Structure 1
Amino acid sequence: MHKAKNYLLGLAIALIGSISCSESQDFDQIDALEVTPTVEASMIYVEAPERIINQLTGVNFIQQTFNFDAFAEDFVSENLLDGVVSYELENTTSKPLEVLIEFLDDADNVLDSEFFTMPAAPTALLRRDVAYGMGGRNIDIIRNTSGIRVSAENLGDNSSTSSLPNPMVILRSSAAFRIRLQ
């Protein structure tokens, strides 16, 4: 009798335990998953030695358009949320400079631009971050950009030379954008 009671009690506990611990599984949870990675990449790197800059004065010593199809895919363009474009300019030349960066659409229309004035060396590294999307400039600028034009002008003479080793102007640009995947 005692054995039968223990057997029934054990069976009842096992039955209650298996019922109370099981729950139907929801395999549709993937539909509610939101993934928004931040994609970072270098955009532009341009350097011009002072000897090249000395060859031209009062005109652009750099004027170049770079292809930019990073957001040409519809999926990426439509799911682009926001981001930041970062610029770094370094001038170790004896020349004051102006640098213009323009974002262009397919028809070479200017969508946005950034203008920099740099004194002659010695100067500090010039850094600027420009936000697009939430709280920044319109994200459609980036979505519709297919080219980036860089122009730089020597505002000084064409004979002086910096006393610093290997004098040049360097432009670096990178971007970090959030993209919604679902």
Structure 2
Amino acid sequence: MKRLPYCIILLSGFLLFLAACTEEQDFSQVDDLQVTPTLASGLFYFESDEATINSEGALSVFYSQEVNFDAFNEQYVAERLIEGVITYEIDNTTSKELRLIIEFLDDAGRPLDAEIFTIEANSPETVVRDVPYGPGGKPIDILANTSSLRVSAINLSDGTSVSSADDPKIILRSGAQFVFRLK
């Protein structure tokens, strides 16, 4: 009988210990979670040699192509786009001054925006331009509403000169990084 009070005290102490060391769990923290992944991708690559440029003649368009750009055609994706940066890199080892035009077009083919580059002949360095969209940059709606890109290249020089460089070319590379809000 003497053990019964000790067992009751011991059991009460154990239950108080369990109650003191546990806390009700709060799973509403998931509501405060914000996930914003960054996706990187190449957009397009364009290359032309000097012979092709010369074959089209002076002051002429030697390249023009429209490229499908369905990255944001789903409303769910377009609504969650927060910001983006498109990077352009251009090398010109030809003897031609060239103009490159990249147009962002909507579903109806209307221009939403354009990036224009005038590149000097025999450019010694790679021209690099980062174009931000979203906070601190161009309106994010441009990217969200773009359904195609039109790339045009124009020879601003003659149609006969030839560069002394080995294999003279114009090369345009572009890539992008986009940040999305998943929630």
Common topology (TM > 0.5)? yes
TM, length-normalised to structure 2 = 0.90
SS in 2 for 1:107: coil
SS in 1 for 2:149: strand
**1:95 matched to which residue of 2?**
96
Q: RMSD over aligned Cα, in angstroms?
A: 2.0
Deviations 1:140-162 (A, max 9, x none): 01010001011111112222222
Task: State whether structure 2 residue 120 is matched by structure 1 residue 153.
Answer: no
Matches within 5 A, 1:1-182: 11-56=11-56, 57-182=58-183
SS in 2 for 1:55: helix
CA shift for structure 1 position 14: 3.0
CA shift for structure 1 position 4: 8.1
> Percent same amino acid among aligned pairs?
47
Residue 161 to residue 7, structure 1, CA distance change in 2 (3 Å): farther
SS in 1 for 2:122: coil
CA shift for structure 1 position 43: 0.7
User: How many equivalent pairs are there?
Assistant: 182
CA shift for structure 1 position 179: 0.4
Partners of 1:81 and 1:62 in 2: CA distance: 33
Partners of 1:3 and 1:167 in 2: CA distance: 99
CA shift for structure 1 position 127: 0.6
Q: Which amino acid aligns with 1:65?
A: E
Residue 6 to residue 55, structure 1, CA distance change in 2 (3 Å): farther
Partners of 2:90 and 2:18 in 1: CA distance: 67
Q: Which amino acid aligns with 2:100?
A: V
Partners of 1:127 and 1:111 in 2: CA distance: 22
SS in 1 for 2:17: helix
Q: Is the 8 A contact 2:91 2:123 kept in 1?
A: no
Q: Is the 8 A contact 2:88 2:173 kept in 1?
A: yes
Unaligned segments of structure 2, at least 5 residues: none
Partners of 1:94 and 1:157 in 2: CA distance: 9
Partners of 2:32 and 2:84 in 1: CA distance: 24
Q: Which amino acid aligns with 1:40?
A: A
CA shift for structure 1 position 12: 4.9
Partners of 1:160 and 1:6 in 2: CA distance: 106
Q: Which amino acid aligns with 1:19?
A: A
